Structure 1
Amino acid sequence: MPSGFTTRPPFEQAPADLRAAIEAAVGSRIAGTESIHGGMSPGPAALLTLRDGRQVFAKAVAASMSSESHLLYLRELETLRVLPPTVPRAPLVAGVEHDGWVVVVTEAADGPALGPPWRSQDVATVADAIATSAALVDLPTLAPAIARMSDLDGWRTLADEHPDRLDDWERARINGLVEISDGWRTWTAGRHLVHLDVRRENAVPHGDAVWLVDWASACHGAGWIDTASLAVDVLASGHAGGHQVSLSVAQGLLAQLPYEATRFVVAVAGMLRCSSFLPAWPVLPTVRDRQGHRALMLRPLVERLVSR
């Protein structure tokens, strides 16, 4: 299981009445379960084989487990209900709200999530999926990017409030890091569909393409955001060809985008670095280490971007 992820309980441990509610929603009894572990929610997830022959993916969480995850699942259901069929996503089969639980049930993809590590063909396939999604504008009900993004003022927060936490490399460049990141609330705005959580765990092969999954953070914003996020994850998660290849692939993705995408990557690095100092999150006890590691992995790219 990747660092920073949680251990899910087996789906078989879900309450019997919740399983019955799922069966009623999908219109078939559950014949078999294959529990899936890992992720950023403490609730169970599984591939469910139904008596009618279908296979679906289900993830569930109770508000008592994590009120934040519960809210995110409800938000994802709202988003999946308005996404048009052209969006490369796992189609929604059913949404269940029962006795403090919420369950998202989608069609099952052909394969597990991509990586680790990234491979160039997978990067290209995900980039194509992102282009298809980003072509959509003015979808109803979606919030603006600023309402869904993490605080991207990390470099300014460290500079103003915690300069002692900066290492020598950061201290020598902090003015440039802050200047490049400033204004993100303005330059991330836009009308395009944005997934906002593009990473290898959220890209699953299906046929000759991929589905983007976990749409809880979907919003409308600048059309380049998801491609820039892909560049971040390629470098932070690694490429099969090694670090220099991952750096080259990330730079290649950014080279196609406006300068604001460069600013976004620098700001994300600051957000990760600043977040790594926050108190541990009980649901994801190692997530702060993960954030610190990803910030460090982005440094070679950030150094090149800041020195441009």
Structure 2
Amino acid sequence: MALTRVNWEDLPAGTRQAVEKHTGRVRSARTVSEGWNSAVAMLVTSYSGTVFVKGLRQTYARRWTQDAEWMISPYVAGVGGRVAPRALWRVEEDGWDLLGFEAVEGRHAVYEPGSADLPRLMHTMTRLGKIRCPDLPLKSAEDRWRPYVTEPEHAAWFAGPALLHTDYNPLNVLISGSRALLIDWAWATQGAGWIDPACLVIRLIAGGHSATQAESAVSGLPAWQQAPAEGLALFAAASVRVWGEVAEASSASWTARMADAACAWQAHRALAV
């Protein structure tokens, strides 16, 4: 369920003052409508420039997503990686946990067949695949998907050393000029490198691709080329259970599309084993 958005002027005075220690005096703040998982999502402009601010109440059950984004940012937004906007500062004040990111002009990706955004995204995913997974307390792919396999030992197929984004909702892909940047790293995971392309395949099917077209779109990724057929089949089956659970818990139309897409991919994968 989407969180109700909180505007700048509705934040406690102490929280706003803490933010202005980083930004300088705020001239304007525009709440954005995209996304569902942050109570605060706004572009804040001061005399020194504009930053994107996102955040949650400190009592919110999923505040750990703030920790994950803050923790991973130096590795994905640094000079060597640069596949995401930089996290600039963090404010924890008066019951709020806010992150300030560099503001990047752009738009969200389009996942329709033939979209010019997909080659840009493939380039970014290739770069992500070259970033060494940092020694951080990240979620492991084995643990994340073990509840969704029929035999616990099957989760071993998902283990690996790669740094994964895993949430390729098109709202999490920002197209800025010729670049595709990945935002919202709440679900950063360590696991087999082919899991990220697999997660994207389901999104592409939901965006209008056939399963064959979706797999063709990611076929140039080194991680996909190394993917074992049995591992993909097990991940496809697990994804059906994941998205079926999500769709059952939500009446949003996009969850049903994802559940249908996962089923379509599983049927396709069953023929490839």
TM-score bracket, shorter-length normalisation: 0.7 to 0.9
The structure-2 alpha-carbon separation of the partners of 1:67 and 1:201, relative to structure 1 and needing over 3 Å to count, comes to same
| Secondary structure at the counterpart of residue 298 of structure 1 | helix
Query: Which aligned pairs between 1:176-187 and structure 2 lie closer than 5 A?
Result: 183-187=153-157
Residues 234-254 of structure 1: per-residue CA shift (max 9 Å, x gap): 112x1xxxx3x4534312146
Partner of 2:257: 293
> C-alpha distance in 1, partners of 2:176/2:257?
30
Find 1:269's aligned residue among 240, 261, 272: 240
> For residue 10 of structure 1, what is the aligned residue in structure 2?
7
The structure-2 alpha-carbon separation of the partners of 1:5 and 1:290, relative to structure 1 and needing over 3 Å to count, comes to farther
1:96·1:103 contact (CA, 8 Å) conserved in 2?
Answer: yes
Check conservation: 1:73, 1:216, Cα contact below 8 A: yes
Instruction: State the percentage of identical aligned residues.
Output: 21
Residue type of the alignment partner of 1:189: A
Say whether the 8 Å CA contact 1:199–1:233 is kept in structure 2.
yes
| Counterpart residue number, 2:61 | 67
Match of 1:76 in 2: 69
1:116-159 alpha-carbon deviations (Å, 9 max, x no partner): 657532122112111111112241214252377355516x4xxx
Q: Deviations over 1:256-298 (max 9, x none)?
A: 43122343233212211134335xxxxxx645x6433311133
Contact kept, 8 Å, 2:141 with 2:190, in 1: the verdict is: no
Look up the SS of the partner of 1:277 in the other structure.
Answer: helix
* Contact 2:29-2:42 within 8 A present in 1 as well: yes
Distance, in Å, in 1 between the alignment partners of 2:114 and 2:57 is 36
Whole-Å Cα distance in 2 between the matches of residues 193 and 30 of structure 1? Answer: 36
Aligned residue type for 1:206: S
What residue is the counterpart of 1:198 in the other structure? Answer: 168
- The whole-number CA distance in structure 1 between the counterparts of 2:202 and 2:147 is 14
Q: Distance in 2 between matches of 1:153 and 1:100?
A: 35
CA distance in 2, matches of 1:81, 1:7: 29
Aligned residue pairs, count:
263
CA distance in 2, matches of 1:123, 1:184: 31
- 1:40: how far off? 2.7
Mapped contact 1:152–1:270 kept (Cα < 8 A): no
Aligned to 2:101: 106
Q: Give the stretch that moved more between structures: 298-307 or 94-103.
A: 298-307
* Offset of residue 105 of structure 1: 0.8
In the TM superposition, what whole-angstrom CA distance separates every residue of 1:174-208 from its partner, at most 9, and x where no partner exists?
xxxxx8xx645211111111112122111102231
Correspondence 1:50 to 2:46: yes
Structure 1 segment 153-192 matched on structure 2, within 5 A: 153=148, 156=150, 183-192=153-162
**Contact 1:73–1:102, Cα closer than 8 Å, also in 2:** yes
* Secondary structure in structure 2 of the residue aligned to 1:9: coil
Query: Which residue pairs with 1:175 in the alignment?
Result: none
1:307, distance to aligned residue in structure 2 (A): 2.7
Secondary structure of 1:276's match? helix
Cα distance per residue 1:2-26 (max 9 Å; x no partner): xx64442333322222111111133
In structure 2, what is the equivalent of residue 211 of structure 1?
Answer: 181
Letter of the aligned partner of 2:258 in structure 1?
A: R
RMSD between aligned residues:
2.6
Match of 1:132 among 113, 127, 132: 127
Distance 1:293 1:71 in 2: 27
SS of corresponding position for 1:40: coil
Does 2:18 correspond to 1:21?
yes
